[in-house]
């Protein structure tokens, strides 16, 4: 069996980053995370950092804004995965520059973990975010850096926890009385558990089939419309919810009136449920995760409210 690549994860303490770190470690990869010293000593991050240590993950102190520390971290590994948040997407050019200087990285996975930005259309502020992701793609390609782009589509744990109801992000379960449905409710989207996104991501890092390709995560049973998701929830609780359909004009006004980060979330939801996601795959440039890794796709990985 070939030796597994050493992986550096940047943005490891962020939302999806934590799952990727755990998947990397559990799949036997020597795993490194880039952390600021201030992050490591932050009481709010202490539980996450301790979990990394319990997993045997190596902490590498540095910052994407400190070129020397970034280069030193990248020199220790074979693969770099970026899971930086929205505000740092454009700054991934600094990671690219460090990878180029090191010259030995076998694969770079920039921070995507959403829809396919080369085919999605969005309103602001999501439009600018997608433009920055596209720019990162083109720079990676022009620099000749080996890559995989992970198009994970919707985060099931994040969206399904509230069934997309942004008025109560602290909710631990979908609503039981009323539900707001974005758009007409009939456009399909893919919703994947964060743990599964991380597993597929890690499986791709040493796979020649995903080299310089897009890894699309679109398990067939996880492709559902908003109406279908609501119907599944109603079946589970044995109750019909009062439904309100938020049409595009009102949704655009809500986006305009909302503060960040709700503005960004609403704009992303507009891209998904009004403009529609591209769920077809160009096999010349991409592959679907549940097809090439069938062993990782089991019944319990389907959407389950």
Which residues are tagged catalytic? 133
157 Cβ partners below 8 Å, 6+ apart?
A: 193, 194
154 Cβ partners below 8 Å, 6+ apart?
A: 189, 190, 191, 192, 272
Report residue 176 as tokens.
């039981």
Q: Kind of pairing, strands 107-109 and 188-192? A: unpaired
Spatial contact of 110 and 39, defined as CB atoms under 8 Å apart: no
Whole-Å CA distances, 151 to 2, 115, 246: 26, 6, 27
Angle at which helix 17-26 crosses helix 194-204, to 10 degrees, equals 60
C-alpha to C-alpha distance for 304 and 55, rounded to whole angstroms: 28
Helical H runs in the chain?
Answer: 17-26, 37-40, 46-54, 67-74, 92-102, 126-142, 156-162, 194-204, 226-237, 248-257, 262-270, 289-292
Whole-Å CA distances, 227 to 92, 188, 201, 217, 273: 37, 9, 29, 21, 11
Spatial contact of 185 and 225, defined as CB atoms under 8 Å apart: yes
């Amino acid at each position: 069996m070939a030796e597994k690549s050493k992986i550096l994860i940047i943005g490891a303490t962020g939302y999806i980053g934590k799952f990727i770190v755990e998947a990397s470690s559990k799949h036997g990869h020597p795993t490194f995370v880039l952390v600021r010293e201030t992050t490591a000593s932050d009481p709010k991050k202490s539980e996450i950092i301790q979990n990394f240590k319990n997993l045997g993950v190596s902490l590498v102190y540095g910052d994407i804004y400190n070129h020397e520390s970034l280069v030193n971290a990248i020199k220790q590994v074979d693969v770099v995965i970026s899971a930086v948040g929205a505000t740092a997407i454009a700054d991934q050019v600094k990671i690219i520059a460090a990878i180029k200087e090191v010259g030995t990285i076998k694969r770079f996975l920039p921070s995507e973990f959403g829809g396919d930005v080369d085919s999605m259309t969005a309103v602001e502020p999501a439009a600018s975010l997608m433009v920055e992701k596209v720019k990162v793609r083109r720079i990676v390609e022009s620099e000749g850096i080996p890559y995989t782009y992970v198009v994970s589509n919707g985060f099931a744990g994040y969206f399904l926890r509230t069934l997309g109801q942004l008025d109560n992000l602290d909710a631990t379960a979908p609503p039981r009385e009323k539900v707001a449905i974005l758009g007409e409710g009939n456009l399909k989207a893919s919703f994947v558990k964060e743990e599964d996104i991380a597993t597929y991501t890690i499986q791709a890092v040493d796979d020649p089939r995903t080299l310089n390709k897009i890894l699309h995560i679109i398990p067939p049973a996880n492709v559902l419309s908003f109406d279908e998701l609501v119907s599944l929830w109603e079946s589970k609780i044995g109750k019909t919810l009062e439904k309100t359909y938020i049409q595009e004009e009102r949704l655009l006004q809500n986006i305009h009136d909302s503060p960040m980060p709700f503005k960004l979330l609403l704009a992303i939801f507009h891209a998904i449920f009004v403009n529609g996601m591209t769920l077809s795959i160009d096999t010349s440039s991409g592959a679907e995760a549940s097809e090439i890794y069938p062993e990782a796709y089991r019944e319990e990985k389907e959407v389950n409210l």
